[in-house]
Structure 1
Amino acid sequence: MQTHGEDSPSDGDLLQAYAAGDARAFETLYDRHALPVWRFVQRSAQDSALADELVQDVWFSVVRQASQYQPRARFQTWLFTIAHHRLVDHWRRHKPHASLDAETLDGATLADRLAAESGFGPDRQLDSREQAQALLDALADLPNVQREAFLLQAEGGFSLNEIAQTTGVSMETAKSRLRYARARLREALEAYA
């Protein structure tokens, strides 16, 4: 999650400025939140092309709703709630068939990319690639609701209250989903400890 200096306008102020016609305000808002939202959607949907499509729809929704935005919660909570709803809509229409080891447009898998970006030598890259793939596999094996709770916290930096609010469940339900997700991920990665 990106922090903003005291002199930087808040996300809510930026959205209001955009609604009043300041296109640069939207650019700043987009620059602040585009990557975390995309990672949340991509890791939830497990398909980069689909994530691109859904995230584009999320930002179109922000544009359409800018003039009606009421700051009842953090802008980021509102934004991730929109992303959550786009994912739910997609899952209702389609069963997920994406494979985590599927090649991306550049011919590499996500695990290959994570290992290559580590800066380690070949032996460490292999270990890192295996561990990254194990994490991705474990994430993919989580039930959607647990994966979503985990990713909202990991990618969005959300509190339990914000996870509950975004997903429309009680705080206890959000807490349980997060606890079960962490336990399953920890169990899946024990071999790498």
Structure 2
Amino acid sequence: MSLEGPPADETLMLAFVAGDAQAFEVLYDRHAMPVWRFVQRSVHDSALADDLVQDVWFNLLRHAPDYQPKARFRTWLFTLAHHRLVDHWRTHKVHSPLDADTEEGAALADTLAAESGFGPDRRLDSREQAQALLDALTALPVAQREAFLLQAEAGMSVAEIAQATGVPMETARSRLRYARAQLRAALETFA
């Protein structure tokens, strides 16, 4: 009986670079949804997120031969996602609000207000709270929203966020602090 856990992401990436296609499949299965959620909650459009995330994975494949495990694989992957988002924002300055009046907003609010086993009144409150969170996230400046989502969706540390976004650690820490304060203030009516 082996006491070893699943292989580390960095080991899998090196195996993929060496020609093991199954290693890539494992990496993709582990990280596809967190990357997609990060991108989708940054652009507020599922179809666009699909396209951008596809670009992220293609970019990973293009740069795979140059991969060196200097940081956690997850940090490297989310750095690629960050760069793709920056490229997108640079060419598309339009940011649409995500609200319950759109099909996309209603679906995401329903997802965030997942079935809790409570009655309809409680689910309505939960959906309203989820929508308030989406509205508060949308209202955050892009850099703060991105830092918050990298921590919330990717589970990245402050140092990893700083590395992924190319800013000093204190800047990443400040962005997180301001994002949390604004979200807390926006949601205090639900406390």
Taking structure 2 as the reference length, the TM-score comes to 0.93
Match of 1:103 in 2: 103
Listed as ranges, the matches of 1:1-193 within 5 Å are: 6-101=4-99, 102-104=102-104, 108-193=106-191
Residues 164 and 170 of structure 1 are in contact (CA less than 8 Å); yes or no, is this contact kept in structure 2?
yes
| Residues 103-142 of structure 1, C-alpha deviations (whole Å, 9 max, x = no match) | 13xx953112332443432111100000000000000000
Q: Which runs of 4+ in 1 moved over 4 A?
A: none
Q: Distance in 1 between matches of 2:14 and 2:121?
A: 51
Q: Distance in 2 between matches of 1:90 and 1:119?
A: 40
Change in 2 beyond 3 A, CA 1:97/1:7: closer
Partner secondary structure for residue 10 of structure 2: helix
Q: Distance in 1 between matches of 2:106 and 2:119?
A: 18
Structure 2 gaps of 5+ residues are none
Q: Distance in 1 between matches of 2:108 and 2:190?
A: 19
Q: Distance in 2 between matches of 1:129 and 1:7?
A: 38
RMSD: 1.5
Change in 2 beyond 3 A, CA 1:61/1:117: farther
Identity fraction in percent: 74
Residues 14 and 26 of structure 1 are in contact (CA less than 8 Å); yes or no, is this contact kept in structure 2?
yes
Structure 1 gaps of 5+ residues are none
Change in 2 beyond 3 A, CA 1:83/1:108: same
| Residues 24-72 of structure 1, C-alpha deviations (whole Å, 9 max, x = no match) | 1111000111111111111111111111111111111111111110111
Partner secondary structure for residue 4 of structure 2: coil
Q: How many residues align?
A: 187
Partner secondary structure for residue 161 of structure 1: helix
Residues 133 and 187 of structure 2 are in contact (CA less than 8 Å); yes or no, is this contact kept in structure 1?
yes
| Residues 3-31 of structure 1, C-alpha deviations (whole Å, 9 max, x = no match) | xx833211111112112221111110001
Which letter does structure 2 place at the counterpart of 1:96? V
Change in 2 beyond 3 A, CA 1:178/1:108: closer
Residues 43 and 95 of structure 2 are in contact (CA less than 8 Å); yes or no, is this contact kept in structure 1?
no
Q: Distance in 1 between matches of 2:37 and 2:74?
A: 14
